[in-house]
Amino acid sequence: MELVSHFETLFREPIVQFFLWMAVLYLLSNVFIDKRISFWVSSIGTTWFWLKNRDPMVALQVWGLILGFFLVFLSLKYFFHMNLFLFLKGKKRCPFCWEEAHRKAKVCPHCRHSFEDA
Ligand SMILES: [Zn+2]
């Protein structure tokens, strides 16, 4: 019962609602429009909806969060040469064919490049 009320207060948070809208739009555009533009469709669509019908401050806060995430992502990438998305997937990128391989792989499954040499 406590868990349910916890989720209720969470769903009343406007920022959480914003991200839920974004996620639903993302899935819909991913399936029905095009995978490559679904991030833009969902983010611009949700922002437009929020600016028009709801609190513009929430949209600003959400974009602050997204920009903050991208700053962390880019600084990890440029200062530590670490791709956060690949890391979370447990993968690394082959320097030879640029395909994704398992983080612990010793040989690239796509081009047989040996990671041991590097
Ligand atoms: Zn490779």
Ion ligand 1: residues, CB < 5 A: 94, 96-97, 108, 110-111, 113
pTM above 0.75, yes or no: no
Tokens standing for 109? 């499954």
Q: How many CB atoms sit inside 10 A of residue 42's CB?
A: 20
Which residues does residue 114 pair with via DSSP β-bridges, in sequence order? 107
Summarize pLDDT for 60-114 with one digit per residue, the tens. Answer: 888 888 899 889 888 888 887 778 888 888 998 888 898 999 989 999 999 999 9
Residues 105 and 117 sit within 8 Å (Cβ to Cβ): no
Distance (angstroms) between ligand 1 centre and the Cα of 101 equals 8
Selection from 100, 68, 96 nearest residue 83 by Cα: 100
Distance (angstroms) between ligand 1 centre and the Cα of 81 equals 18
Helical spans, DSSP H, in 1-118 = 2-12, 14-32, 38-53, 56-80, 84-89
pLDDT over 60 at 118, yes or no: no
